[in-house]
């Protein structure tokens, strides 16, 4: 069973929550935390883009199945 959009968003939300620790460390001046935070944000960006593409593909599939009905 494929995860739905809500499940994917919940995973993204959980991932964002994990970034807070490094954000706090970065705010206290820890350079390594800033590096981890930037890497995590890049991963988040990629995951968001993947989700966008998936949602668009679902919509296109629905549109094409309606045309064929």
Per-residue pLDDT tens listing for the chain (69 residues): 667 999 999 999 999 999 999 999 999 999 999 999 999 999 999 999 999 999 999 888 888 887 776
Q: Do 47 and 15 contact (CB within 8 A), yes or no? A: yes
Prediction pTM value: 0.80
| Distance (Å) of CA 10 to CA 17, 21, 41, 56, 61 | 11, 18, 16, 19, 24
Which pLDDT score, from 0 to 100, does residue 55 have? 93
Q: Do 50 and 39 contact (CB within 8 A), yes or no? A: no
Distance CA 23, CA 7 (A): 25
């Amino acid at each position: 069973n494929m995860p739905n959009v809500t499940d994917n968003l919940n995973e993204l939300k959980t991932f964002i929550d994990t970034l807070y620790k490094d954000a706090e460390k970065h705010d206290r001046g820890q350079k390594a935390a800033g590096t981890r935070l930037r890497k995590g944000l890049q991963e988040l960006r990629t995951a968001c883009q993947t989700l966008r593409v998936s949602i668009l593909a679902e919509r296109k599939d629905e549109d094409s199945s309606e045309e064929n009905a």
